[in-house]
Amino acid sequence: MHNLINQIHCELLPQIQLESLEPHNPIVVHYLPQPWQLLGIGNYAAVVSHPDYGNLVVKIYAPGRPGFEEEVEVYRRLGQHPAFSECFYAGQGFLILKRLQGVTLYDCMHRGIKILPSVIRDIDQALHYARSVGLNPHDVHGKNLMIAQEKGLVVDVSDFLKLEACSAWEDLKRAYYCFYLPVLSRLPMRFPYRLLDLIRAVYRFYRRAWRRDLD
């Protein structure tokens, strides 16, 4: 771990180039030094791994994006729980987290991997636990959820200190039981990313139109 922290300070942070173009869209990674690998991006941060530390990831906030201290506090409250990652170290603007070896629900739709009802129940239980330690699940959507060994995991907890209500998970569950389970899951369908992003854009439009919570 000590070595990893050194490499982050000496190699990764001085060279990586991240930019947040719009707050409601994923950040852009302009440059990532060797041998780091990009595992994913979100609206706040990039998540990378080093081949010598396969069980860990480094989540680096893009310059100017808020929420780093809050995410550290969320992980402090969550402690150890099988449905969440765990924070082992927090430096300036970056966290070292347990790697979750799974596929996001978003990528499951793209790759045609079936999402079982037990996954939805796992996530419900995980969110129940988060509430029991004083957190408010927020922004729980397909890119922030994963399936690993058929278990549902919550990969992104960065907004769990926000106080306002968020209907994303209830909306996703409704879509799962109304459309996905009875219809889509029976078809051998893969969704192109462009279609998934269109669904996301239409969902955001309607949520805003109904003046419901949306950050």
Binding site for Mg ion (CB under 5 A): 42, 144, 156
Terminal C-alpha separation, the chain: 35
Task: Tell me if 4 contacts ligand ADP by CB under 6 A.
Answer: no
Residue 7 binds: one of ligand ADP, Mg ion, none (C-beta under 5 to 8 A by kind): none
Task: Tell me if 138 contacts ligand ADP by CB under 6 A.
Answer: no
Report the C-alpha gap between 175 and 120 in whole angstroms. 12
Task: Tell me if 47 contacts ligand ADP by CB under 6 A.
Answer: yes
Choice between 7 and 85, CB closer to ligand ADP: 85
| 130-to-27, 175, 198, 200 alpha-carbon distances in Å | 27, 23, 30, 25
Query: CB count, 10 Å around CB of 77?
Result: 14
Taking each continuous run of H as one helix and of E as one strand, the counts in the chain are 7, 10
**Closest approach of ligand ADP to the CB of residue 76, in Å:** 16
Q: Which range binds ligand ADP by CB under 6 A, 75-83, 94-102, 177-185, 207-215? A: 94-102
Of the candidates 195, 116, 186, 99, the residue with the CA atom closest to the CA atom of residue 150: 116
**Closest approach of ligand ADP to the CB of residue 75, in Å:** 10
Using CB under 6 A as the criterion, which residues of the chain lie in contact with ligand ADP when the complex forms?
Answer: 39-45, 47, 57, 59, 85, 97-100, 104, 143-144, 155-156, 158
